[in-house]
A = this chain, B = another copy of it.
Amino acid sequence: MEQVFSLLQDNALFQGLAASDIGEVWPCLSPDVRSYDKGELILCADELIPGVGVMLEGVASVAREEEDGHRVVLAVLGAGDLFAEAFVCAGLERSPVTVMAEGAARVAFLSLEHVLGRCARNCAHHSRITANLLRVLARKSLSLRAQIDLLSMRTLRDKLTAYLASQAAKSGSRRFDVPLDRSGLAEYLGVDRSALSRELSNMKRDGLIDYHKNAFHLLSSRKSVD
Which A residues have a C-beta under 8 Å from some C-beta of B? Answer: 85-92, 112, 116-118, 123, 127, 130-131, 133-135, 137-142, 144-145, 147-148, 151-152, 154, 187, 190, 192
Secondary structure at the A interface, as helix, strand, loop or mixed, is helix
What distance in Å separates the Cβ of A96 from its nearest Cβ neighbour in chain B? Answer: 8
What B residues does A141 contact at CB under 8 A? 86, 90, 137, 140-141, 144
Q: How many copies does the complex hold?
A: 2
Do A139 and B190 touch (CB < 8 A)?
no
Q: CA separation between A137 and B89, bound complex, in Å?
A: 8
Do A151 and B89 touch (CB < 8 A)?
no
Given A90-B142, A137-B141, A141-B86; A131-B151 close (CB under 8 Å): no
18 A/B residue pairs, CB under 8 Å, sorted by A: A86-B142, A87-B142, A88-B138, A89-B134, A89-B137, A89-B138, A90-B138, A90-B142, A91-B138, A92-B142, A112-B131, A112-B134, A118-B127, A130-B130, A134-B134, A148-B148, A148-B151, A151-B151
Do B139 and A90 touch (CB < 8 A)?
yes
Q: CA separation between A85 and B137, bound complex, in Å?
A: 11
Closest to A64 in B: B149
Do A127 and B116 touch (CB < 8 A)?
yes
What B residues does A133 contact at CB under 8 A? 134
Given A116-B127, A118-B118, A130-B116; A86-B144 close (CB under 8 Å): no
